[in-house]
Amino acid sequence: QKFVYDFTEGNKDLKDLLGGKGANLAEMTNLGLPVPPGFTITTEACKEYLESGREPAGLRDEVSAHLDALEQRMGKKLGQADDPLLVSVRSGAKFSMPGMMDTVLNIGLSDASVAGLAAQLGDERFAWDSYRRLVQMFGKTVLGVDGDLFEEALENAKRAKGADSDLGLDAADLRQLVDDFKAIVAKEAGREFPQEPREQMDLAVCAVFDSWNTERAKLYRRQERIPGDLGTAVNICSMVFGNLGPDSGTGVAFTRDPASGQQGVYGDYLQNAQGEDVVAGIRNTVPLAELETIDKTSYDQLMRIMETLETHYKDLCDIEFTIERGHLWMLQTRVGKRTAAAAFRIATQLVDQGLIDEAEALRRVNGAQLAQLMFPRFDHEATDSGQIKRIGWGIAASPGAAVGKAVFDSYTAVKWSRSGEKVILIRRETNPDDLNGMIAAEGILTSRGGKTSHAAVVARGMGKTCVCGAEELEVDTKRRRLTATGPDGKPVVIEEGDLVSIDGSSGKVYLGEVPVVPSPVVEYFEGRMHAGADEADELVRAVHRIMAYADRVRRLRVRANADNAEDASRARRFGAQGIGLCRTEHMFLGERREMVERLILADTDTERDQALGALLPLQRDDFVELFEAMDGLPVTVRLLDPPLHEFLPDITELSVRVALAESRKDANENDLRLLQAVHKLHEANPMLGLRGVRLGLVIPGLFAMQVRAIAEAAAHRMAAKGDPRAEIMIPLVGTVQELEIVRDEADQVIAEVEAATGTRLRLAIGTMIELPRAALTAGQIAEAAEFFSFGTNDLTQTVWGFSRDDVEASFFTAYLEKGIFGVSPFETIDKDGVGSLVRAAAADGRATRPDLKLGVCGEHGGDPESVHFFHEVGLDYVSCSPFRIPVARLEAGRAAA
Ligand code: PEP
Ligand code: MG
């Protein structure tokens, strides 16, 4: 096994082995760019070291061979007394982990070689300063000495000299400081600072290996979802100095603007300084363009190199460089990070330059970036100006920027919004009763609950801004006020009607009105082409082109979860190819809720038939509107799914009301009946109780009424020369028998409507697969289903045994912190568990019925990573909320590209 690669031996594709930095240093070396010579110790060596606690056998010899070669090329030996070769020892993992791991510079300096360096460079102060830095860095990172001790000694030296920066210390002072530092090392580390250069190097290499497992590195990896077993490579590179005078310096550069994608000269330069000084921000940098006047030769060379790099990597690169006495050296390059807007623009620019093709352009952007571009944003200039008070910081639950008057209940939200006010609904947490208020509000703010609390999920579904779980906010709904802590630590009270602004992309809550800028990308999807600033136009053009590429190559179709004509029309404008889930329970809200209540309370067949009879025409009208909005495209209507108690008053509230009334001896008959029904329907685990297909099987006439409404609406649309494509979906089926019974009833109703209207209706009947048993018996269920739609919300809930309404607010944070999963399985499909059931059920279903249509309509249908999975397992479509449709189209395209 080979543990060491010279820079001339590697290349950019070896990031697993050489880390990002090492692979790119090798790539630049092989491009003939001026990289200081050096070599890389592989991540394999690191892994072996970390596992065994020892340097891998043979590593030392291999390092010696490479060091010999390096010394020969440089014409001097590591730490050679009269002219020392100095090296840097830097970490470099596959994924960048900024500032997480160790680096030691100036390895090779010692009591013996410091004078040699001084003589070679003709600069005694510089040599002692370099030695001082080595002892300090080595003491701290390799020998584990408390860094503050060195800082204190440095401060003392400055104070003694009356200097306000280390530039005020001369060679003699620094020489004294080296002695002080060495004394600190001897005392604290219990050993002398090593004078032997090779020993310095070997110890530094092990320290870099060890730094992979520091607590902060582990924490960072967990947060960034970087696997913990990759290890880091170690780069050993001959030192170049940017701090040798005015003809030296160091800088960073981008091949184009990472904020806009514009081509040009972007970067910063710091004269007479080392890279570390730039990071530390000790002195002010100048714009890179000024390098042209400082050192035109180096500047021109740098521009040529940047062009070479961009053509070679076919992407925006960022660069670190150093100029040592007029000689330019490249210290690092990598494909650079960029904003969402820049990503789209750069991808299309590179296509125009002929550097990449359309498929590659699709790989260069992603759905998360597109989603970012779709939300209105607060004007950052305003929030950064400090004039606006931030009063809280919760969970960024549903992106967007919303401003409105604070209201503390649903009723007021609806009332105020009807009279034209913009409102923010503020609750401790929300429940289905708040739905109307949520619809009316510009945004929703809660002080409790996580990313999948009711508020968060519903808000995301509606594309509405939401900040949840802002725990430092004290919400008092009774007194209609919110108490927060202002930036000065003093309490701030927000009363009903006060203006607040919430940022669903950052979770920040502001007092007052923050100006909002609309998203030109949404204007574009809405069909209102943006005609404003050039930059927005350019962005919209780029998005348009990328979406066209995606639509051209994707195999997955994209449908919407929508249950009213307005959402359906928007979804259609956003590119939906049908409705994959119409949740009919959403049609029974508001005043219709009482009609459902009447159905539940019905004692006799007549009462029940009356209740159903009243609902039928309303349902039919709903469907007529929906089929019209989606004319010519499939509309999957799901029959009633939720447990019935959701349509009844809360058991505690009602009990209290009845008890109070009884004590006053004026209990009302209806309340008493209601309470009885509520008790009868009360379940310990309603999500596992009387809901879904079970409702259809035990409440006579309910599903038949819904099927009739669908059939009559379809017939009505056909009579109007429309093209309705309704599909009837049965929820929560666990066995084919359930489906067969409901199906027989539905077929009969459809036949009746066909006979009565003289129309031939082609209504497909299918089911949701959202219980493990349904997935496991998909082959049987497919006998009675023309389509499957995977309900991955319930499927995740039942496969994991996680209550989808509770867990995110209770223990998910701990699970995420412990790295049990990197992301909630309710957000991104759990491929190994839930996903493998989906994969198997899809295959089993198709084995029974080869033309079985397969889709997914859980939240995962709009989640980028999940979309790729659904593409891979061969589903026909994904269905998601209207606002996520562009994201799903893009990701479906990326999955196929
Ligand atoms: C599901 O369970 O995934 C689903 C789409 O249904 P609901 O979220 O309405 O339970
Ligand atoms: Mg479900």
Q: Which atom in ligand 1 lies closest to the alpha carbon of residue 789?
A: 5
Q: What is the pLDDT of residues 166-180, one digit of tens each?
A: 788 999 999 999 999
**CA 33, CA 328: separation in Å to the nearest integer?**
10
Q: What percent of the chain has pLDDT over 90?
A: 71
Here the tokens at position 580 are: 């994959």
pLDDT above 50 (res 363): yes
User: Is 454 an annotated catalytic residue?
Assistant: yes
Q: Is a pLDDT exceeding 70 seen at residue 530?
A: no
What is the rounded CA–CA span in Å between residue 354 and residue 308?
Answer: 15
Q: Which domains does the chain have, with CATH numbers?
A: 4-238 (3.30.1490.20), 249-338 (3.30.470.20), 376-518 (3.50.30.10), 558-591+612-642+692-896 (3.20.20.60)
CA 790–ligand 2 middle distance (angstroms)? 9
CA of 726 to the centre of ligand 1 (A): 19
Q: How far apart (Å, rounded) are the C-alpha atoms in residues 397 and 456?
A: 5
Q: What is the pLDDT of residue 283?
A: 61
| Start-to-end C-alpha separation, the chain | 36
- Name the pTM for this structure: 0.79
- In degrees and rounded to multiples of 5, residue 417 shows phi and psi of -70, -30
The per-residue pLDDT for 841 is 98
Q: Indicate whether residue 857 lines ligand 1 (CB < 6 A).
A: yes
Q: What is the DSSP letter of 590?
A: T
Mutate which of 583, 771, 794 for ligand 1 pocket (most atoms within 8 A of beta carbon): 794
Q: Do the Cβ atoms of 667 and 610 come closer than 8 Å?
A: no
Distance 633 CA to ligand 2 centre (A): 23
State mean pLDDT over 186-207.
96
Asked whether the beta carbons of 336 and 253 are under 8 A apart, the reply is: no
When pLDDT is averaged across residues 532-552 and rounded to a whole number, the result is: 87
- ipTM attached to this prediction: 0.99
State CA 122 to chain mean position distance. Answer: 53
Residue 64, pLDDT above cutoff 80: yes
The alpha carbon of 843 and the centre of ligand 1 are apart by a number of angstroms equal to: 22
Return the pLDDT at 531. 54
Q: For residue 234, give both structure tokens.
A: 């170690």
Burial of 107 per CB tally in 10 Å (0-12, 13-18, 19+): buried
Q: What is the pLDDT of residues 367-402, one digit of tens each?
A: 988 998 888 788 877 888 777 888 998 888 877 899
> Which of helix, strand or coil describes residue 862?
helix
As a whole number of angstroms, the distance between CA 360 and CA 897 comes to: 8
Alpha-carbon distance 868 to 861, whole Å? Answer: 10
Helices 15-30 and 43-52, interaxial angle, to 10°? 150
Task: Please list all protein residues whose beta carbon sits less than 5 angstroms from ligand 2, which is an ion.
Answer: 770, 791, 794
Report the SS3 class of residue 112. Answer: coil
- Please identify which of the residues 66, 237, 317, 454 carries the catalytic annotation: 454
Please state the rounded mean pLDDT for residues 63-78. Answer: 96
Tell how far CA 487 is from the center of its chain. Answer: 28
Give the integer Cα–Cα distance in Å for 109 and 41.
Answer: 22
Residue type at 627 in one-letter notation: F
Contact 317, 299 (CB under 8 A): no
Which SS3 state, helix, strand or coil, does residue 823 take?
Answer: coil
Q: Say yes or no: CB of residue 124 within 6 Å of ligand 1.
A: no
Percent of the chain with pLDDT over 70: 96
Q: Would residue 857 show up in a list of annotated catalytic residues for this protein?
A: yes
The response to whether residue 641 sits with its C-beta less than 6 Å from ligand 1 reads: yes
Q: Is 452 in the pocket of ligand 1 (CB under 6 A)?
A: no
Please give the pLDDT value at position 281.
46
Beta bridge partners of 635: 579, 726
Provide the 10 A C-beta neighbour count for residue 156.
12
Spell out the residues 6+ positions from residue 405 whose beta carbon is closer than 8 angstroms to its own: 416, 421, 422, 423, 424, 496, 497, 498, 499, 500
Pairing status of strand 38-41 against strand 401-407: unpaired
The length of the chain is: 897
Radius of gyration of the chain (CA): 34
Which helix or strand (DSSP H or E) is residue 547 part of?
Answer: helix 534-553
Ligand 1 in contact with 792 (CB < 6 A)? yes
Residue 581 beta carbon below 6 angstroms from any ligand 1 atom: yes
Of 20, 31, 22, give the one whose Cα is nearest residue 4: 22
Do residues 785 and 851 touch, judged by C-beta distance below 8 A?
A: no
Contact 452, 804 (CB under 8 A): yes
DSSP3 helix / strand / coil % (the chain, rounded to 5): 50, 20, 30
Can you tell me the distance from the alpha carbon of 643 to that of 36, in angstroms, rounded to the nearest whole number? 69
For 397, the 3-state DSSP assignment is strand
Task: Report the alpha-carbon distance of residue 313 to residue 333 in Å, rounded.
Answer: 10
Residue range 877-891, pLDDT digits in tens? 999 999 999 999 999
Please give the Cα distance from 62 to 655 (Å, whole number).
80
Number of Cβ within a 10 Å radius of residue 317: 23
Instruction: Tell me the pLDDT band of 224, cut-offs 50, 70 and 90.
Output: low
pLDDT of residue 667: 82
Residue 546 Cα to ligand 2 middle (Å):
33
The answer on pLDDT for 553 being more than 50 is: yes
Determine which residue's CA is closest to atom 9 belonging to ligand 1.
583
Find out whether the beta carbon of 563 lies less than 6 Å from any atom of ligand 1.
Answer: no
Q: What is the pLDDT of residues 109-118, one digit of tens each?
A: 999 999 999 9
Q: Which of 460, 561, 587, 641 to mutate to test the pocket of ligand 1 (most atoms within 8 A of CB)?
A: 641
Span 815-824, mean pLDDT? 79
Catalytic one among 237, 582, 857, 880? 857
